[in-house]
C-alpha cells in the first residue's frame, strides 16, 4: 500500500476521534489562520497524518486551488508530483513525531534536486519544502509546511548548466577541429618535400617532380581555403556578395575548368533547359562556383567510368532553380550516408585519387543554406549517386514567402 493511501486511511479513521471539542477546534483554526495570513510565504499546518488543517492565501494561490478545494480533506501528499511522492512521503513519516524544534528542508535546488509539487491544473513546479513542528504555547500541534517556489532558481541553474555543457562541447569541438585540420594540412607537405628532394638529388625527372609539387601545392591551397571557410562559417563570419548572376554561365565555365584538370576518360554532359540559358539568380558568384566545383568534383572523383550528367531546370512559379548532378560511380557508402554533410565526413576508395578531407559537402551545404536553398543526395538504382541543389531565383521572394 502506498504511504499516501495509508495516510488517508489512518487519517480518515482517526481524525474523527480527536479530543478537541468542535468549538475548541474552531477557535484554534481561527487563531492559526490569523497567524498564517501575516506570514508572507505559502504556509500550511498538517496533522500527524499529513492532512492540511489550515493554510494561508499564498498557499492556495501557489497551487492554484480555491480555499475550499484545499481544505476539503486534502493530504499534503496530494499536492506532490508523482516523482517526488516517495521522497516527501518518507519525510512526512520521519517528522510525524519529530523533536519540536527540528526543521527539515527538502529540495533546495541549489545543492539538491527540487521537490516537484503539483498545481490544481495538473502542472508541476520545482519547490523547496520546509517542514517544522508547529508549537502552540509549549505544546507541539502538528507540522507547519512552508513552500518556497524554486522555479526562478531552477531555471537559472538549468540555464547555467546548459551554458556549461555548450561551452564544453564548443571547446571539445574546437580542439578536435584544430587536431584534424593540422593533421590534414601536414598531409600534402610531405609529398611536396619528397618531390623536391628527389628532383634535387636527380632521382626523379624534373618535369615529373614539378608536376607532383604543383598537384600537392594546389591541394594544400584548397585545403587551407576550405579550413578557413569552415572556421568563418562556424563563427558566422562568412560574408556573401549577393548579385543577379547568370548561373548557367557560372556552371558551364566552372565545369570547363574541372574538365581541363580531369585525367579520366569519362564524359561530362551538361543539359540546360531550353529557353532558360540566360536565367539570372540572386547569388554569390564565386560561392556558386565553389558549390559546383565540390559537387561535380566529387562526381568526377568517385566515378571510374561512364558519364556525369548535369541538368539545370527553372521552376519560375516556384521561384526555384535546380541543378541535378548524377554520376555512374560506386555511389555513396551506406555507412556515411546519414552523416554525409557533416564536417570531416569522408570515405575514399582506398587510393590516393579519391582521398579527401570531408569538408567539401559541409561547405556546400552551408553555402546553399545561406542562399536559402537546399541540397539532397541519393544513390541511383542502377549505379552512382545524384545530388540535387535547389536555389531560389530571388532571395527576396523566398524570405517573404517564408514569413
Ligand X SMILES: Nc1ncnc2c1ncn2[C@@H]1O[C@H](COP(=O)(O)OP(=O)(O)OP(=O)(O)O)[C@@H](O)[C@H]1O
Residue ranges binding ligand X (CB under 6 A) = 226, 294, 298-299, 302, 327, 329-333, 336, 340, 345-347, 356-362, 385
> Smallest distance, Å, CB 298 to Mg ion?
4
| Nearest residue relative to Mg ion (C-beta) | 360
Identify what 345 binds: ligand X, Mg ion, none; CB under 5 to 8 Å per kind. ligand X
Q: Which residue's CB is nearer to ligand X, number 75 or number 375?
A: 375
Rounded Cα–Cα distance for residues 153 and 112 (Å): 12
> Smallest distance, Å, CB 226 to ligand X?
6
Enumerate the H helices of 43-200 as residue ranges. 57-63, 67-71, 85-95, 151-200
Rounded Cα–Cα distance for residues 213 and 233 (Å): 30
Identify what 32 binds: Mg ion, ligand X, none; CB under 5 to 8 Å per kind. none
DSSP 128: E
- Angle, helices 360-370 vs 285-301, to 10°: value is 150
Of 239, 245, 181, 234, residue with least CA distance to 362:
234
Q: Which residue's CB is nearer to ligand X, number 104 or number 222?
A: 222
Q: Which residue's CB is nearer to ligand X, number 150 or number 216?
A: 216
Sign of the CA dihedral 165, 166, 170, 173?
positive
Rounded Cα–Cα distance for residues 287 and 252 (Å): 15
> Smallest distance, Å, CB 190 to ligand X?
17
Task: Look at the block and give the residue holding cell 590534414.
Answer: 184
**According to the binding rule CB under 5 A, does residue 358 interact with Mg ion?**
no
Please state, in angstroms and as integers, the Cα–Cα distance from residue 63 to each residue in 36, 57, 388, following that order. 16, 10, 55
* Close Cβ partners of 335 (under 8 Å, ≥ 6 residues apart): 347
Identify what 385 binds: Mg ion, ligand X, none; CB under 5 to 8 Å per kind. ligand X
> Smallest distance, Å, CB 232 to ligand X?
16
Identify what 346 binds: Mg ion, ligand X, none; CB under 5 to 8 Å per kind. ligand X
Q: Which residue's CB is nearer to Mg ion, number 147 or number 300?
A: 300
* List 60, 95, 298, 326, residue binding Mg ion (CB under 5 A): 298
> Smallest distance, Å, CB 389 to Mg ion?
14
Q: Which residue's CB is nearer to ligand X, number 64 or number 191?
A: 191
Rounded Cα–Cα distance for residues 251 and 285 (Å): 10
Question: Interaction with Mg ion in 359-378: which residues (CB under 5 A)?
Answer: 360
> How much is the CA Rg of the chain, to the nearest whole Å?
36
At 312 the three-state DSSP class reads strand
Q: Which residue's CB is nearer to Mg ion, number 161 or number 304?
A: 304
Contact 69, 52 (CB under 8 A): no
Please state, in angstroms and as integers, the Cα–Cα distance from residue 160 to each residue in 107, 108, 110, following that order. 18, 17, 12
> Smallest distance, Å, CB 379 to Mg ion?
16
Identify what 320 binds: ligand X, Mg ion, none; CB under 5 to 8 Å per kind. none
Q: Which residue's CB is nearer to Mg ion, number 107 or number 356?
A: 356
> Smallest distance, Å, CB 373 to ligand X?
17
Contact 387, 325 (CB under 8 A): yes
Rounded Cα–Cα distance for residues 52 and 256 (Å): 84
> Smallest distance, Å, CB 358 to ligand X?
4
Identify what 400 binds: Mg ion, ligand X, none; CB under 5 to 8 Å per kind. none
Q: Which residue's CB is nearer to ligand X, number 313 or number 354?
A: 354
Identify what 56 binds: Mg ion, ligand X, none; CB under 5 to 8 Å per kind. none
At 378 the three-state DSSP class reads strand
Rounded Cα–Cα distance for residues 54 and 96 (Å): 17
> Smallest distance, Å, CB 204 to ligand X?
26
Q: Which residue's CB is nearer to Mg ion, number 321 or number 362?
A: 362
User: Where along the sequence are the contacts to Mg ion (CB under 5 A)?
Assistant: 298, 356, 360
Amino acid at each position: 500500500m502506498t504511504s499516501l493511501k495509508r495516510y488517508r486511511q489512518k487519517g480518515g479513521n482517526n481524525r474523527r476521534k480527536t479530543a478537541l471539542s468542535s468549538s475548541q477546534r474552531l477557535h484554534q483554526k481561527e487563531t492559526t489562520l490569523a497567524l498564517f495570513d501575516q506570514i508572507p510565504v505559502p504556509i500550511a499546518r498538517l496533522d500527524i497524518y499529513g492532512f492540511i488543517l489550515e493554510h494561508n492565501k499564498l498557499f492556495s494561490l501557489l497551487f492554484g486551488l480555491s480555499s475550499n478545494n484545499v481544505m476539503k480533506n486534502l493530504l499534503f501528499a496530494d499536492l506532490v508530483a508523482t516523482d517526488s511522492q516517495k521522497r516527501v512521503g518518507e519525510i512526512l513519516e520521519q517528522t510525524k513525531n519529530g523533536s519540536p524544534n527540528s526543521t527539515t528542508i527538502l529540495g533546495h535546488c541549489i545543492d539538491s534536486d527540487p521537490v516537484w509539487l503539483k498545481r490544481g491544473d495538473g502542472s508541476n513546479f520545482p519547490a523547496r519544502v520546509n517542514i517544522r513542528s508547529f508549537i502552540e504555547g509549549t505544546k507541539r500541534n502538528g507540522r507547519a509546511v512552508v513552500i518556497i517556489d524554486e522555479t526562478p532558481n531552477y531555471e537559472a541553474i538549468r540555464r547555467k548548466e546548459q551554458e556549461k555543457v555548450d561551452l564544453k562541447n564548443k571547446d571539445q569541438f574546437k580542439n578536435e577541429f584544430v587536431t584534424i585540420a593540422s593533421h590534414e594540412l601536414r598531409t600534402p607537405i610531405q609529398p611536396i618535400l619528397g618531390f623536391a628532394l628527389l628532383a634535387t638529388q636527380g632521382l626523379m625527372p624534373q618535369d615529373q617532380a614539378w608536376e607532383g609539387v604543383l598537384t600537392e601545392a594546389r591541394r594544400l591551397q584548397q585545403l587551407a581555403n576550405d579550413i578557413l571557410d569552415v572556421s568563418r562559417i562556424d563563427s558566422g563570419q562568412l560574408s556573401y556578395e549577393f548579385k543577379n548572376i547568370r548561373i548557367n554561365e557560372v556552371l558551364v565555365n566552372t565545369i570547363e575548368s574541372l574538365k581541363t584538370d580531369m585525367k579520366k576518360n569519362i564524359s561530362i554532359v551538361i543539359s540546360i533547359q531550353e529557353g532558360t540559358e540566360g536565367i539570372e539568380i540572386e547569388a554569390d558568384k564565386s560561392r556558386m562556383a565553389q558549390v559546383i566545383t565540390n559537387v561535380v568534383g566529387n562526381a568526377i572523383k568517385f566515378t571510374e567510368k561512364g558519364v556525369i550528367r548535369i541538368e539545370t531546370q527553372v521552376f519560375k512559379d516556384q521561384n526555384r532553380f535546380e541543378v541535378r548532378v548524377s554520376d555512374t560511380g560506386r555511389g555513396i557508402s551506406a555507412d556515411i550516408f546519414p552523416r554525409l554533410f557533416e564536417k570531416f565526413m569522408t570515405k575514399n576508395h582506398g587510393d590516393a585519387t579519391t582521398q579527401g578531407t570531408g569538408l567539401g559537402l559541409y561547405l556546400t551545404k552551408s553555402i546553399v543554406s545561406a542562399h536559402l536553398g537546399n541540397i539532397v543526395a541519393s544513390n541511383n538504382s542502377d549505379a552512382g549517386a545524384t545530388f540535387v541543389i535547389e536555389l531560389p531565383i530571388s532571395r527576396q521572394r523566398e524570405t517573404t514567402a517564408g514569413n
